[in-house]
Structure 1
Amino acid sequence: MDWHSAIKGFQSYLKLEKSLSVNSIEAYSRDIEKLHQFSDREGFKINPERISLADLRLFIVWAAELGMIPSSQARILSGIKAFYKYLLMEDLIKIDPSELLESPKIQRKLPDTLSYEEINKMIDAVDLSKPEGGRNKAVLEVLYGCGLRVSELTELKLSNLYLDIEFIKVTGKGSKERLVPIGGSAIKALKIWIELIRVHIPVKKGEEDLVFLNRRGARLSRVYIFMIIKQLAEVAGIKKNISPHTFRHSFATHLVEGGADLRAVQEMLGHESITTTEIYTHLDREYLKGTIIQFHPRS
Structure 2
Amino acid sequence: MDFSNWQVIKKEFEQFLKFERGLSINSIDAYLNDVSKFQIYCEDNNLGLNQVARKDIQHFLQWLQEFNISPFTQSRLISGLKTFFSFLIIEHELDNNPTELLQAPRLSRKLPSVLSIHEIDQLIAAIDLSSPEGERNKTIIEVLYGCGLRVSELVNLKISNLFLDVEFIKVEGKGSKERLIPIGQQAIKHLRLYLDSVRPHIKIKDGNEDIVFLNRRGSALSRVMIFLIIKELAQKIGLQKTISPHTFRHSFASHLVEGGADLRAVQDMLGHESITTTEIYTHIDRDYLHSIITQYHPRS
Give yes or no for TM over 0.5: yes
Q: In the alignment, is residue 101 of structure 1 matched against residue 98 of structure 2? A: no
1:66 alignment counterpart: 67
Moved more, 10-19 or 274-283: 274-283
1:30 alignment counterpart: 33
Q: In the alignment, is residue 77 of structure 1 matched against residue 70 of structure 2? A: no
2: CA distance between counterparts of 1:236 and 1:230? 10
Give CA deviations for 1:130-180 in whole Å, capped at 9, x if unaligned: 111111110000000001111110100000000011110001111111111
SS at match of 2:171: strand
Q: 1:92 to 1:6 in 2, by over 3 A?
A: farther
* Residues 126, 136 of structure 1: 8 Å contact kept: yes
Alpha-carbon shift at residue 239 of structure 1 (Å): 1.5
Alignment-mate amino acid for residue 106 of structure 2: K
1:128 alignment counterpart: 129
Alpha-carbon shift at residue 295 of structure 1 (Å): 2.3
Aligned length: 297
Alpha-carbon shift at residue 208 of structure 1 (Å): 0.8
SS at match of 2:166: coil
1:269 alignment counterpart: 270
Q: Percent identity?
A: 57
- Structure 1 vs Structure 2 CA RMSD: 1.4
Give CA deviations for 1:19-50 in whole Å, capped at 9, x if unaligned: 22333222111111111111222xx2211222
1: CA distance between counterparts of 2:52 and 2:120? 50
Alpha-carbon shift at residue 91 of structure 1 (Å): 4.9
1: CA distance between counterparts of 2:54 and 2:156? 41
1: CA distance between counterparts of 2:183 and 2:87? 39
2: CA distance between counterparts of 1:110 and 1:250? 12
Alpha-carbon shift at residue 196 of structure 1 (Å): 1.4
Alpha-carbon shift at residue 107 of structure 1 (Å): 2.0
1: CA distance between counterparts of 2:260 and 2:158? 31
Is there any run of 5+ residues in structure 2 with no aligned partner, and where? none
Alpha-carbon shift at residue 105 of structure 1 (Å): 2.4
SS at match of 1:207: coil
2: CA distance between counterparts of 1:289 and 1:152? 34
Alignment-mate amino acid for residue 231 of structure 2: K
1:9 alignment counterpart: 12
Alpha-carbon shift at residue 211 of structure 1 (Å): 0.6
1: CA distance between counterparts of 2:147 and 2:184? 8
Give CA deviations for 1:246-268 in whole Å, capped at 9, x if unaligned: 11111111112122222221211
* Residues 49, 92 of structure 1: 8 Å contact kept: no
Q: TM-score, normalised by structure 2?
A: 0.95
Give CA deviations for 1:118-140 in whole Å, capped at 9, x if unaligned: 00110111111211111111000
Q: TM-score, normalised by structure 1?
A: 0.95
Give CA deviations for 1:208-250 in whole Å, capped at 9, x if unaligned: 1111111221111111111110111122221211111111111
